A and B are shown apart, each in its own frame.
Chain A
Amino acid sequence: MAAASRPSRRRFLIGGAGAGAGAVAGSVGLALGQRAPLEAQGAIARADVASSQGAGTGHGGVTDATHGGGVSGPTFRQGSTVDHAANGFDPSALLRDFDYGTTSVLPDGRVLREWDIFASDEDIEVAPGVVFPAWTFNSRIPGPTLRCQEGDLLRVNFTNGSAHPHTMHFHGIHPAGMDGVPDVGAGVIEPGRTLTYEFDAAPFGVHLYHCHVSPLAEHIARGMYGTFIIDPLRGRPPADELIMVMHGYNTTFDADGNQLYAVNGIPFHYMHEPVRVQRNELVRIYLVNVLEYDPINSFHLHANFFDYYPTGTRLDPSEFTDTIMLGQGQRGICEVRFPHTGKFMFHAHKTEFADLGWMGFFEVAD
């Protein structure tokens, strides 16, 4: 199910995906209900550059105001949203969705932690009206956030329900046979087969897992990745904990950059559903970059600074900053307290990625 696009100057022969299972889901529709006329937009934009959002644009209340358009910044068709119910996941829920698995105590007193993970092929509405033939873990992008404690014995029962061969390759310390790469140990897991990956939880920190079957870039870019958190034995200070996985969608499958950039599955999602946090409360962000086809990604928080713990493997921060840069597979923990209430933007400080979907808002309340 490949697609190609060969745009020439004014002549186009575009093949999109869509044969068989990739056909556009009939249920996908555009919610175009609320939309201000462009004339009004333009008029406001010319009159007052600073009135970027809120009541001034006439889109409704401050909290759920539609942001962007013209000089106010990037946006999808205003008022259009993704059908999260049809997708089966919602980025707002993913933020704090930690999967601790099922635990039992082994005879030697260690904790045995188990998860059931499956791979599946899903048509996901990755932007309003745009259907992407994805390959997923547990039918969502990003896959489930697997969370455990340092020293646990982990068993991941992986079933390949996809039509394509896959593996689960964890970042962490484990035996070669449990590495989830072709030709080592169980190697590639064919469709319909099951394998249990078993290893110790080490080292503590924020890690990731992803499929490692060739062509590797496509298997990752199709959506097969997730966060893997190992908590230190002594724990971390209590905080409002969030997961943010930075990634993209190469909807044309040309392996040349991405058409959409996002954090936690849906581009621009947190622009109209801001991440709600409390003033002065410690907020801990488990940040992972799995962006394919682009060499770097970055994370920038407006009007606030955070302590940064690269890979989360040390308990002392390495930096106090508002911007960090990450290559693919790099990850870390950001800890921040918001001293002021209000809306604060966060986005890739690679502006192109921000303009193509990787931007959102924190909304700080008392």
Chain B
Amino acid sequence: MGVRPGHRVPTWCLGLVAVLLLGTALAALGVLGGQSLPERTGPPIEQLAVEGTVLTPGVIELTVRNTGPDPVQVAQVFVNDVYVDVVGAGEPIGGLGTATLRLAYPWQDGQPYLVSMLTSSGAVIEDEIPAAVATPRAGPGFFGLMALLGAYVGIIPVLLGMMFLPVLRRAGRGLVRVLLGVTVGLLAFLVVDGTAEGVELAESAGGAFGGATLVALGAALAFLVLTGFDRWLRDGQHADGGGSAGGFRLALMIAVGIGLHNLGEGLAIGSAYAVGELALGTALVVGFALHNTTEGVAVVAPLTDKRPSLLRLLALGLIAGAPAILGAVLGAAVNNTELSGFLLGIGVGAIVQVITQIVPVLRERAGSRLAPTTIGGLLAGVLIMYLTGLLVAA
């Protein structure tokens, strides 16, 4: 480049000048540019997203967030065409601000309600309560129930799935590849499923914090962090001493990925239960057990030629399953659909990372084609997830 070091202006100086110029230009734009353009024509844009609904006898409590550009003043509220006493949100709600409205209304169990918020400009913002159910009280008992639910749908099925390890050991390398194919198939299904659910959730709140973009952000974040984690494991061989570390490292990565997925799944279950959209019962628990048992198989699939200690296996199971407990508790406590979407995105990114880990192992040798049986395993994995997923259609 022919730079003469002696006469060179320090880099930080150039940077400072650039930042100063940028700041000056922005300030000038703010002062002059804003005035050269007309104000927005048309009426104010009033948007509110309902982020939380708490139903107690005689009272409907809504937590709303202003997701639009203009302040919103909720002047009056009617529920199913009846004006009701309102406490809260006496002042206009600013952009991205929240407020809680307590409505005195003798709602009945199981009935649908339409809450209409009449703003100061006469606009009506509606929120639908599909079926009114008393919101569970957030006490130790409730969180205990959520933890139990998380254990049922997370830890127990994963541990059950891991019990297939002895069977896998007896099988040959070919069968293990088929099983890994099944694993990739079911993980691919979870990617599609989690993405769809995450996008739907994140968009449902009005997308003030990015909507679907949040899901992609979560996925990218998880993918990159896990890739970094994997590099770190490979470099240091921290997971398992010696050269045979590959299998256990892969198992750990799969467990972490599935764990992050189960965090999102637990979150969805917890929040669905909190708003009364989920019936707990035998069908749900058995359905999730079947569904998530396959995840346990996936975790132990790379360990067929290893002899991991029981403690280590248990740790893997907890890594994969326990986040469901955290998710369920979080989902029941924090009713923020965009946060749920973000966490589901993290699960998606984690699983994509895991898939990239397993795919090379599916081949007999580097560069060889996939065996037809392995492809059959892939298909079987997708089908298993689809069919067991039908059991837990909440």
Cβ of B113 to closest chain A Cβ, rounded Å: 14
Would you give 26 A-B contacts (Cβ < 8 Å), ordered by A? Answer: A9-B128, A9-B204, A10-B49, A10-B127, A10-B128, A15-B46, A15-B123, A16-B46, A19-B43, A22-B121, A24-B121, A32-B90, A35-B87, A38-B58, A45-B106, A77-B85, A77-B87, A127-B118, A129-B75, A129-B120, A130-B75, A130-B119, A251-B118, A253-B122, A355-B81, A356-B82
Residue count of chain B within 8 Å CB distance of chain A: 47
Q: How far is the CA of A243 from the CA of B88 in the complex (A)?
A: 36
B interface residue numbers (CB < 8 A to A):
41-50, 57-59, 68, 73, 75-76, 78, 81-87, 90, 102, 104-106, 116, 118-128, 203-207
* Docked pose: A143 CA to B336 CA in angstroms: 49
- Please pick, from A5, A7, A35, A130, the residue contacting B120 in the complex, using a CB distance under 8 A: A130
- Asked if A46 is an interface residue, CB under 8 A from chain B, the answer is yes
Is the pair B83, A130 in contact by a Cβ cutoff of 8 Å? Answer: no
- Chain A interface main SS type: loop
A70 touches B104 (CB 8 A): yes
Residues in A lying within 8 Å of B, measured CB to CB: 1-3, 5, 7, 9-19, 22, 24, 28, 30, 32, 35, 37-38, 41-42, 45-46, 68-71, 74-78, 80, 126-132, 249, 251-253, 259, 267-268, 352, 355-357
Q: Knowing that A14-B47, A15-B123, A251-B123 touch, tell me 19 more A-B residue pairs with CB under 8 angstroms.
A: A1-B43, A2-B43, A3-B43, A3-B122, A10-B204, A14-B125, A16-B123, A18-B121, A42-B57, A46-B57, A69-B85, A74-B78, A77-B86, A129-B76, A130-B75, A130-B118, A259-B122, A352-B81, A355-B81
CB contact under 8 A between A41 and B85, given known A12-B126, A16-B44, A19-B42: yes
Min CB distance A276 to B, Å, is 24
Nearest chain A CB to B85 CB, angstrom units: 4
Find chain B residues with CB under 8 A from A16 CB.
43-44, 46, 119-123
Which of B81, B118, B122, B125 is A12 in contact with, Cβ under 8 Å?
A: B125
- The chain A residue with its CB closest to the CB of B127 is A10
A28 touches B120 (CB 8 A): yes
Residues from chain A with a CB closer than 8 A to the CB of B58 are 38, 41-42, 45-46, 70-71
| A19–B41 alpha-carbon span in the complex (Å) | 7
* Contact (Cβ within 8 A) B206 A11: yes
The answer for the CA separation of A137 and B86 in the assembled complex, in Å, is 33
Contact indicator B82/A15 (Cβ below 8 Å):
no
Min CB distance B271 to A, Å, is: 14
Measured CA separation A69–B59 after assembly (Å): 11
Task: Tell me which of B45, B50, B120 contacts A15 (CB under 8 A).
Answer: B45
Q: Are B121 and A10 in contact (CB under 8 A)?
A: no
Tell me if B76 and A128 are in contact (CB < 8 A). Answer: yes
Contact of B83 (CB < 8 Å), options: A45, A76, A126, A252:
A76
| A37 and B58 alpha carbons, distance in the complex (Å) | 13
A10 near B76 with CB under 8 A, answer: no
A24, chain B: closest CB distance, angstroms: 5
A77 CB contacts on chain B under 8 angstroms: 75-76, 85-87
| Chain A residues whose CB sits within 8 angstroms of the CB of B78 once the complex forms | 74, 259, 355-356
**A45–B50 alpha-carbon span in the complex (Å):** 27
Give the shortest distance, in Å, between A106 (CB) and chain B (any CB): 47
The one of B44, B84, B204 that contacts A18, using a Cβ cutoff of 8 Å: B44
How far is it, in angstroms, between the C-alpha of A132 and the C-alpha of B75 when the chains are bound? 12
Give 9 closest A-B pairs by Cβ, nearest first: A16-B121, A251-B122, A129-B75, A16-B123, A69-B85, A42-B58, A355-B82, A70-B104, A14-B123
Contact A38 B76 (CB under 8 A): no
Q: Is the CB of A38 within 8 A of B85?
A: yes
Measured between alpha carbons, how far is A69 from B83 in the docked complex, in Å? 8
Contact assessment for A355 and B83 in the assembled complex, using a CB-CB cutoff below 8 Å: yes
Docked CA distance A78–B76 (Å)? 10
B266, chain A: closest CB distance, angstroms: 23
